[in-house]
Amino acid sequence: MARQGPLLAALVGLLCLSVAQARKAGPTALKFPSLTSCSQNADATTFRISTNVTKSMPGQTYCFTFGTAAPANATLPCGKATVLERVQLWASHEDRRKISMIRIREPSGDKVIYGSWTRKAAGYADEIVFSKLQWTPEYIKTVNPRLCLTLAADTTLDDICLGTAGLCTFGLYSVGANGAKCCPVYDVPAKVAA
């Protein structure tokens, strides 16, 4: 019996190490976004997020740009969505303090916003939501808004983004025709465009 104690402790240690590695690698058992009753097909709506990440001041500030394009099928309910209501990022709740500031950057200036972490059961999910955007295609084309995250020193996007290593995964939420829930999912490189 005494020998099983150290063996069990070693197995538990290996299991914990495997879980930590799987968390960053993005195990296929995890789903993002956690909502399953919405259309997650990329290009289902007019709204897009650019794959070009920019870095600017202050400090470690990374910005994501949004755009518009024709939906894959304009006759489907999500193809008729006219407002981008919110954006959700698959990010580590455990590392939330590494995000020191969130802003919407427009030509007229920066607006500080606050993301909220999705509540799940007794805790929080690894999803930060930026809501009440109410962006129309015209607004995005005219203003060219950027969602900017200022990170702690020595922190990169890859440190906070979950899923596939080297990518940040976003859900773009809209309501389509007949109340259809639309949340196309996009992967964006977790590095500054060259």
What are the extents of the domains in the chain?
Answer: 1-26, 31-189
Write out pLDDT tens, residues 99-108. Answer: 999 999 999 9
Write out pLDDT tens, residues 130-142. Answer: 999 999 999 999 9
| 160 burial level (CB within 10 Å; 0-12, 13-18, 19+) | buried
Write out pLDDT tens, residues 78-122. Answer: 999 999 999 999 999 999 999 999 999 999 999 999 999 987 777
Distances (CA, A) of 92 to 96, 153, 159: 6, 17, 8
Determine the average pLDDT of the residues in 157-185: 94
Question: Which residues share a beta bridge with 182?
Answer: 39, 174
Asked if CATH classification 2.60.40 holds for the domain at 31-189, the reply, yes or no, is yes
